[in-house]
Amino acid sequence: MNQNEVVVEVGSEGGSVTLRGTRTPTGWLFSRHVIDQSAAMLDEVSDEQASSSVKSWSAALKLLSEYPWVDLHPIEVHPEFRQRILDAVVSVYEKRGDTPQRRLEKWKEVCNAPRELNAPISDHR
C-alpha cells in the first residue's frame, strides 16, 4: 500500500501543517506539507510547500518542529501514530517547562487518549 496518509494535521486561521506518511515494504516515509493562506486573505496567492521525504520518526518530528505545531489546533491524528504524537506533544511541553492544560486536553481528545494519561507536570499559562 503506497497511499499517502495523514499522520498528523494541525491548523490555524491562516493555514495548516500536515505530516503525511507513505507505507513502503521497508517502513514509513514521511513528508511535511504546509499551506499558508494568509496571503489569500489579502487577495494574493496562497503558499503551499512540501518537504522532501524522510525515513525515520525522529526525522519526521524534526520536520514538524520547524513550525509551532504543538501550539496549533490539532485536526487529525492517524490511529497508528496517536500515542507517538501525544508523547511528542508532552515532550515538547516538558522541554519548554509549560503544559497548557486546555491545549493538552484537545490533543488527548484528538488522540483518543484517557484524560489522566500523561498528566501535565505544570499548568503555566
Cα–Cα distance measured from residue 111 to residue 37, given in angstroms and rounded to the nearest whole number: 26
Looking at residue 119, its pLDDT comes to 45
Q: Report the predicted TM-score, pTM, of the whole model to 2 decimal places.
A: 0.79
115 inside domain: no
Domain membership flag for residue 45: yes
Determine the structural domain holding residue 48 and report its residue range.
4-110
For residue 50, the surrounding DSSP H or E stretch is strand 47-50
Residue 33 lies in a domain: yes
Q: Is residue 118 included in any domain, yes or no?
A: no
**Domain-embedded: residue 120:** no
CA dihedral 105, 110, 111, 116 (to 10 degrees): 20
pLDDT at 123: 39
**Contacting residues for 30 by C-beta, under 8 A, at least 6 apart:** 7, 19, 20, 21, 22, 53, 54, 55, 57, 59, 60, 63
Number of domains into which the chain is organized: 1
Rg value, the chain, Cα: 15
> Is 26 contained in some domain?
yes
Residues of the chain with pLDDT under 50: 1, 40, 115-125
